[in-house]
Amino acid sequence: MTVIPSNDFSFYDQVLDTSIMVGAIPQIYRWNSGPVPLATYFAMARGAQGKAHEVSCGHALHGHDAAHGVPALEMTKWFDTNYHYMVPELTKDQQFTLGSRKPIEEYEEAKALGYQTRPVLVGPVTFLKLAKSKDAGFNPLSLLDRLLPVYIEVLRELAYRGVEWVQIDEPCLVLDLDIVAQQALHHAYTEIARAVPQLKIMLATYFGGLGANRHTALALPVAGLHLDLVRAPEQIDELSGFPGDRALSLGIIDGRNIWRADLSRLLDQLEPVIAKLGEHRVQIAPSCSLLHVPIDLALETGLEPEIKSWLAFSVQKLEELTTLGAALARGRGAVEVSLKASDQAAASRRASPRIHDAKVAARVAGIDEAMRFRSSIFAERATVQRERFNLPAFPTTTIGSFPQTADVRNARSAHARGALTDEAYKLYLQNQTARAVRWQENIGLDVLVHGEFERNDMVQYFGEQLAGFAFTSHGWVQSYGSRYVRPPVLFGDVSRPKPMTVEWWQYAQSLTKKPMKAMLTGPVTILNWSFVRDDIARSEACRQIALAIRDEVADLEAAGAGMIQIDEAALREGLPLRKSEWQAYLDWAVEAFRLCSSGVRDETQIHTHMCYSEFNDIIGAIGAMDADVISIETSRSKMELLDAFRDYRYPNEIGPGVYDIHSPRVPDIEEMTALLKLARMRLSDTQIWINPDCGLKTRKWEEVRPALANMVAAARELRALA
Ligand code: GLN
Ligand code: ZN
């Protein structure tokens, strides 16, 4: 028997679909009742410009909204994935009512085509837990009793129309849950079971193990439970303790990574477990939704055949499931050929010289304490660095990239197509760089950057030059809405065959006497934005990348670079879902950063950059990274997050962002000076640098020019005051 899900299609995002289903539509989108129009849906997803009346269904309109349009809902990462969902926005007196019959319609659509499906819903408790409250001091979970009737209405109708099983996703069960959330789960599923007793619920958990929520999960009156045995393989040993009337869906094919499964090994694990539990109780499944992996490996004609033989995308993962299912039902002999192919791929991956590089292993083994520490403490380094660079107070700089205009992107794709020769492309990039350098000099920035025109992406650019990485041509994964990314595939031991950025830095520095900051992406960020090999620990793979970046840092220093920035934009998002695992992650992440950055002399200034705004819970790790200068995102938080740095007595230098680069708006001088005054209340003057929140690649030159000119003017005002 095969279970096919429905209601797993979305125009934009499944959490947004859920908000629509339960009629949780913030007032600004002007919806009262009835089916929510698609225009309202997209206004919530992407915002609408100056025509809020078109997204409403004919209600009176205030001139204010007509003029200003409506913003999109906030967006944030779905658990520890790189998929972003639209954050439900709820008020204290939120009412819920059916706003869409999508689950019912899609069930009927499949049925008309001859498929009996298992509809999938985001569970009520996870939905509320992910929601944001518009009003202070109330917990969205307190709205559960108002929300449940809408879920029950949907479930009743599904049951009425012939649905036997629904899948309800409660991935919140893999988080640390307080007693309020545990009780909410208990209450929700007790109510649902009472209201729709004939419906069987497969309660799905994924991205981790149940951990301390195990008791809560097992006590829920549901017919089945789905477990992620890829992320939490230890759960397989605990299955015999599960209530005997519960169906079990075993998530054994990795829905988060692109490696082919070792089917024989899986069968070795599954056969005894299933024999014990009884075949009728067990289903096998991907660990989670296949949203997080690309669609079809068959499209990859450019990959090395050997590397390709180690991979499985969604289509291949479903084939693996089918093979496993057949082997379990009819014996391994029934799928001999497929199993053999899987065995071969596994053996080749274990032994391939493409993966295993003895030199890398030797270098990793040779890492010693000294390699993880700068030779002097910050205070001593700061003294020599001040002498060397002789910068004014409140030095100004930027984060690295300048606008990646259509022109720049066209040149890149012309070069990739072969329509532009290597020389012509290089000349083009040099001209862009030279113009950017001249312009920075003209407006009076203190520390310059080359502009990153030659980079397609801050991770891909490095991955393409490092041994151990492969790139797909169609391996797209949804990041949000219509935005997809193609993560590099980190398949083997990492090393750096030759310098990656030195020439560009040298060219840029040759154009100016001002310091030219070199620009690198850090090991943790490269790791967190790639599909990472699963045959060694992530920390180990990260250490290898760190050594490769360390080589680049050494070459930059030898070429004369005095300032080297190592971006760790993705350090925070790599935090595990459970707090108890944070410290172990932070330890190896910090170690990797130190490993790549500590091989330099005192007078070489190491910068780092992190573009997010929550530091409170990781400030100790930030301090331990010991970068000479860190630039961070602060403009939207009005410098409040500097409190964390102040309270921690963060000793090194900091550039709190004064220009919100996510918005096309050009901040004026007063606004930036006001922000800087707030920064001065929290930091000492000698610590402060002045820079935007992040790189400027997504902005237009028309925005960047006046904004940075204002930023330099703000710095001058501040110097006059100080
Ligand atoms: N140096 C990079 C840039 O300026 C940093 C980008 C990032 O932090 N996301 O584009
Ligand atoms: Zn950034």
pLDDT tens digits for 71-107? 899 999 999 999 999 999 999 999 999 999 999 999 9
> How far is the C-alpha of 510 from the C-alpha of 523, rounded, in Å?
28
Which of 517, 609, 632, 691 best tests ligand 1's pocket when mutated (most atoms within 8 Å of CB)? 609
User: Would the CB of 569 count as within 6 Å of ligand 1?
Assistant: yes
Mean pLDDT, range 331-342, rounded to an integer: 98
pLDDT tens sequence across 438-492: 999 999 999 999 999 999 999 999 999 999 999 999 999 999 988 899 999 999 9
Residue 591, CA distances (Å) to 81, 439, 547 in order = 23, 38, 11
Which residue is closest in CA terms to ligand 1's atom 3?
695
pLDDT at 240: 84
Mean pLDDT, range 54-73, rounded to an integer: 52
Question: Which phi-psi region, left, alpha or beta, contains residue 551 (left: φ > 0; alpha: ψ -120 to 50)?
Answer: alpha
Helix residue spans in 214-313 (DSSP H): 214-219, 263-277, 305-308
Task: Assess contact for 395 and 447: CB atoms under 8 A.
Answer: yes
Mean pLDDT, range 665-676, rounded to an integer: 96
User: Would the CB of 567 count as within 6 Å of ligand 1?
Assistant: yes
Place of tokens 């950057």: 449
> How far is the C-alpha of 144 from the C-alpha of 127, rounded, in Å?
10
Closest CA to 13 of 286, 289, 252: 289
Strands 467-470 and 489-495: antiparallel
Does the structure show a pLDDT above 50 at 65?
no
Reported as a pLDDT band with limits 50, 70 and 90, residue 55 is very low
Which residues contact residue 663 at a Cβ distance below 8 angstroms, ignoring those fewer than 6 apart? none
User: Would the CB of 519 count as within 6 Å of ligand 1?
Assistant: yes
Nearest ligand to the C-alpha atom of residue 461: 1
Residue 220, CA distances (Å) to 188, 191, 345, 567, 689 in order = 9, 11, 41, 45, 54
Among 296-300, 375-379, 614-618, the minimum mean pLDDT is found in: 614-618
611 Cα–ligand 2 center, Å: 4
Give the active site residues.
662
User: Would the CB of 522 count as within 6 Å of ligand 1?
Assistant: no
DSSP state of 167: E
Label residue 352 exposed, middle or buried (CB < 10 Å: 0-12, 13-18, 19+).
Answer: middle
Nearest ligand to the C-alpha atom of residue 456: 1
Task: Assess contact for 36 and 23: CB atoms under 8 A.
Answer: yes
Which residues contact residue 58 at a Cβ distance below 8 angstroms, ignoring those fewer than 6 apart? none
User: Would the CB of 20 count as within 6 Å of ligand 1?
Assistant: no
Task: Assess contact for 468 and 495: CB atoms under 8 A.
Answer: yes
Which residues contact residue 237 at a Cβ distance below 8 angstroms, ignoring those fewer than 6 apart? none
pLDDT at 58: 35
Place of tokens 């459970």: 578
Among 55-69, 295-309, 411-425, the minimum mean pLDDT is found in: 55-69
DSSP state of 393: S
pLDDT at 67: 46
pLDDT at 3: 96
Reported as a pLDDT band with limits 50, 70 and 90, residue 638 is confident
Which residue is closest in CA terms to ligand 1's atom 8?
569
> How far is the C-alpha of 43 from the C-alpha of 22, rounded, in Å?
17
User: Would the CB of 661 count as within 6 Å of ligand 1?
Assistant: no
DSSP string of 543-607, one letter each residue: HHHHHHHHHHHHHHHHHT-SEEEEE-TTTGGG--SSGGGHHHHHHHHHHHHHHHHTTS-TTSEEE
Reported as a pLDDT band with limits 50, 70 and 90, residue 366 is very high
Label residue 542 exposed, middle or buried (CB < 10 Å: 0-12, 13-18, 19+).
Answer: buried
Does the structure show a pLDDT above 60 at 54?
no
Nearest ligand to the C-alpha atom of residue 612: 2
Which residue is closest in CA terms to ligand 1's atom 10?
695
Among 282-286, 383-387, 664-668, the minimum mean pLDDT is found in: 664-668
User: Would the CB of 609 count as within 6 Å of ligand 1?
Assistant: yes
Which residue is closest in CA terms to ligand 1's atom 5?
695
473 Cα–ligand 2 center, Å: 26
516 alpha carbon, distance to own chain's centre = 30
Label residue 268 exposed, middle or buried (CB < 10 Å: 0-12, 13-18, 19+).
Answer: exposed
Which residues contact residue 611 at a Cβ distance below 8 angstroms, ignoring those fewer than 6 apart? 399, 569, 632, 633, 657, 693, 694
pLDDT at 57: 37
User: Would the CB of 122 count as within 6 Å of ligand 1?
Assistant: no
Number of helices (H), then strands (E), in the chain: 26, 21
667 alpha carbon, distance to own chain's centre = 28
What number does the ligand 1 atom closest to the CA of 521 have? 1
Task: Assess contact for 444 and 712: CB atoms under 8 A.
Answer: yes
> How far is the C-alpha of 138 from the C-alpha of 309, rounded, in Å?
52
pLDDT tens sequence across 187-207: 999 999 999 999 999 999 999
pLDDT at 66: 41
Strands 653-656 and 605-610: unpaired
Which of 399, 453, 610, 698 best tests ligand 1's pocket when mutated (most atoms within 8 Å of CB)? 399
Nearest ligand to the C-alpha atom of residue 521: 1
User: Would the CB of 459 count as within 6 Å of ligand 1?
Assistant: no
> How far is the C-alpha of 336 from the C-alpha of 334, rounded, in Å?
6
User: Would the CB of 610 count as within 6 Å of ligand 1?
Assistant: no
pLDDT tens sequence across 600-613: 999 999 999 998 77
What number does the ligand 1 atom closest to the CA of 398 have? 4
Nearest ligand to the C-alpha atom of residue 451: 1
User: Would the CB of 411 count as within 6 Å of ligand 1?
Assistant: no
603 Cα–ligand 2 center, Å: 25
User: Would the CB of 695 count as within 6 Å of ligand 1?
Assistant: yes
Label residue 109 exposed, middle or buried (CB < 10 Å: 0-12, 13-18, 19+).
Answer: middle
552 Cα–ligand 2 center, Å: 21
Does the structure show a pLDDT above 60 at 291?
yes
pTM of the model: 0.94
| List of domains in the chain | 441-721 (3.20.20.210)
563, β-bridge pairs = 605
Which residue is closest in CA terms to ligand 1's atom 1?
400
What number does the ligand 1 atom closest to the CA of 609 have? 8
pLDDT at 50: 64
669 Cα–ligand 2 center, Å: 22
The per-residue b/e assignment along 643-665, b for 16 or more CB within 10 angstroms, e otherwise, is ebbeeeebebbbbbbbbbbeeee
Which tokens belong to 603?
């007078």
> How far is the C-alpha of 389 from the C-alpha of 376, rounded, in Å?
18
pLDDT at 61: 36
- Give a three-class secondary structure readout of 409-425: HHHHHHHHHCCCCHHHH
pLDDT tens sequence across 552-590: 999 999 999 999 999 999 999 999 999 999 999 999 999
SS3 17: helix
What number does the ligand 1 atom closest to the CA of 519 have? 1
CA geometry: angle 674, 675, 680, nearest 5 deg: 95
pLDDT at 39: 95
pLDDT tens sequence across 41-52: 999 999 987 644
567 Cα–ligand 1 center, Å: 7
Which residues contact residue 347 at a Cβ distance below 8 angstroms, ignoring those fewer than 6 apart? none
What number does the ligand 1 atom closest to the CA of 697 have? 10
DSSP string of 176-233, one letter each residue: ---HHHHHHHHHHHHHHHHH-TTSEEEEE--SS--GGGHHHHHHS--SEEEEETTT-G
pLDDT tens sequence across 118-162: 999 999 999 999 999 888 888 999 999 999 999 999 999 999 999
pLDDT at 69: 83
User: Would the CB of 704 count as within 6 Å of ligand 1?
Assistant: no
Task: Assess contact for 200 and 249: CB atoms under 8 A.
Answer: no
Which residue is closest in CA terms to ligand 1's atom 9?
569
258 Cα–ligand 1 center, Å: 27
> How far is the C-alpha of 508 from the C-alpha of 512, rounded, in Å?
7
DSSP state of 391: P
195 Cα–ligand 2 center, Å: 49
SS3 342: helix
Nearest ligand to the C-alpha atom of residue 634: 2
What number does the ligand 1 atom closest to the CA of 400 have? 4
498 Cα–ligand 1 center, Å: 23
523 Cα–ligand 1 center, Å: 14
Mean pLDDT, all residues of the chain = 95
What number does the ligand 1 atom closest to the CA of 401 have? 4
User: Would the CB of 611 count as within 6 Å of ligand 1?
Assistant: yes
User: Would the CB of 401 count as within 6 Å of ligand 1?
Assistant: yes
Residues with CB under 5 A from ligand 2 (ion): 569, 611, 694
User: Would the CB of 463 count as within 6 Å of ligand 1?
Assistant: no
Which residue is closest in CA terms to ligand 1's atom 7?
569
What is the Cβ-side half-sphere exposure of residue 379, based on CA atoms within 13 angstroms?
A: 2
Does the structure show a pLDDT above 50 at 273?
yes
CA geometry: angle 542, 545, 551, nearest 5 deg: 145
Nearest ligand to the C-alpha atom of residue 517: 1
What number does the ligand 1 atom closest to the CA of 611 have? 8
Q: What percent of the chain has pLDDT over 90?
A: 91
> How far is the C-alpha of 711 from the C-alpha of 672, rounded, in Å?
7
Which tokens belong to 279?
């075949």
Mean pLDDT, range 246-266, rounded to an integer: 98
What number does the ligand 1 atom closest to the CA of 610 have? 8
pLDDT at 68: 60
612 or 501, higher pLDDT: 501
pLDDT tens sequence across 223-245: 999 999 999 999 999 998 889 99
